[in-house]
Amino acid sequence: MAIQLGCVTRPWNSFTWEEFLAGTAGAGYECIGTTRHAGEWIVADEVPLEVIKRRRAEVEEAGLTPSTCWGGFPLDAGPEAAEEGLRKTIDAITAFGAPYLLHCGTARGPNADLFYETMAECCDYAEDQGVMLTLKPHGGITCTGADLVYALERIDHDNFGIYYDAGNIMHYKGLDPVNELLVVADYVVGMCIKDSLGELEGVNILPGTGVVDFEGVFEVLLDAGFDGPLVVECLGGETLDEVNENAAKTREFLEGLIG
């Protein structure tokens, strides 16, 4: 599988779904990722199946492919509800045609064990549907490279991988994204592209203009044989033209990094 470049809906939150697709395609990307858009999930178990299928068709009509969907499941109603929720999320993502479910983890505390157990329990089901379960740095139980290694050990399945986010590694704990990547590089199946201005500082900026050492990150990733999707999560920009222009600049920036 060759590296694919894509964009997440997030930078276009102030604009329409159609403008997101047009902007992503116009900037030269191949695939997309989905999360909430204007406060509502694009793909989730509560979204009607016919809506998900229509959105999939719209993605394909724009010349793009579905890649990665943010998704979750309840952790406060017990194991059965958690597993049912994750399976329903997997079903929604399957209908959309995306090969990756991206989870952000949970807070440290009593729900952490249930999170790992539920992910592990659903890996086979997800694999049967053609969806890989992934986890990205996002604070809580995923602040550090060691946290990600622990998740790999707890879930322990070939259909579970790490979706690296160098910007979040810097943002939540002020850690060096290159150093934290070294211990998990062999398990990284995708990457969210996000820069940072420093610990607990802004991330909604043009990639390459913050403090993340992207050259160092990609040197480690490519040495490890990385060949997954790179989805741009933050771009900066206020107007539609600015966001679209930043999307094109970021594609060129990424192409330079991956050769």
* 39 class by beta-carbon count within 10 Å (0-12 exposed, 13-18 middle, 19+ buried): exposed
Looking at residue 162, its pLDDT comes to 98
Rounded to an integer, the average pLDDT of 10-38 is 97
How far is residue 8's CA from residue 232's CA, in Å, rounded to a whole number? Answer: 6
Q: Convert the pLDDT of each residue in 121-172 to its tens digit.
A: 999 999 999 999 999 999 999 999 999 999 999 999 999 999 999 999 999 9
Mean pLDDT of the chain: 97
Phi, psi of 20 (to 5 degrees): -60, -50
Task: Report the candidate in 76, 53, 59, 47 with the shortest Cα–Cα distance to residue 9.
Answer: 59
Given a contact cutoff of 8 angstroms between Cβ atoms, the answer to whether 129 and 94 are in contact is yes
How far is residue 168's CA from residue 153's CA, in Å, rounded to a whole number? Answer: 21
Interhelix angle 17-26/49-61, nearest 10 degrees: 30
CA 85 to chain CA centroid, nearest Å: 19
How far is residue 92's CA from residue 102's CA, in Å, rounded to a whole number? Answer: 13
Q: Convert the pLDDT of each residue in 37-53 to its tens digit.
A: 989 999 999 999 999 99
The tokens of 42 are what? 């694009």
| Three-class DSSP category at 198 | coil
| Three-class DSSP category at 70 | strand
Indicate if the pLDDT at residue 97 is higher than 80.
yes
Q: Convert the pLDDT of each residue in 176-193 to its tens digit.
A: 999 999 999 999 999 999
The contacts of residue 11 (CB under 8 Å, 6+ apart) are: 232, 233, 234, 235, 236, 237, 243, 246, 247
Residues in the chain: 259
Rounded to an integer, the average pLDDT of 108-120 is 97
Rounded to an integer, the average pLDDT of 209-221 is 98
How far is residue 157's CA from residue 134's CA, in Å, rounded to a whole number? Answer: 11
Indicate if the pLDDT at residue 206 is higher than 80.
yes
pLDDT band at 2, cuts 50/70/90? Answer: confident
Q: What percent of the chain has pLDDT over 70?
A: 100
Only one residue has tokens 């659903």, namely 122
Looking at residue 18, its pLDDT comes to 98
Indicate if the pLDDT at residue 1 is higher than 90.
no
Rounded to an integer, the average pLDDT of 96-111 is 97
Phi-psi region of 27 (alpha: psi -120 to 50; beta: other; left: phi over 0): alpha
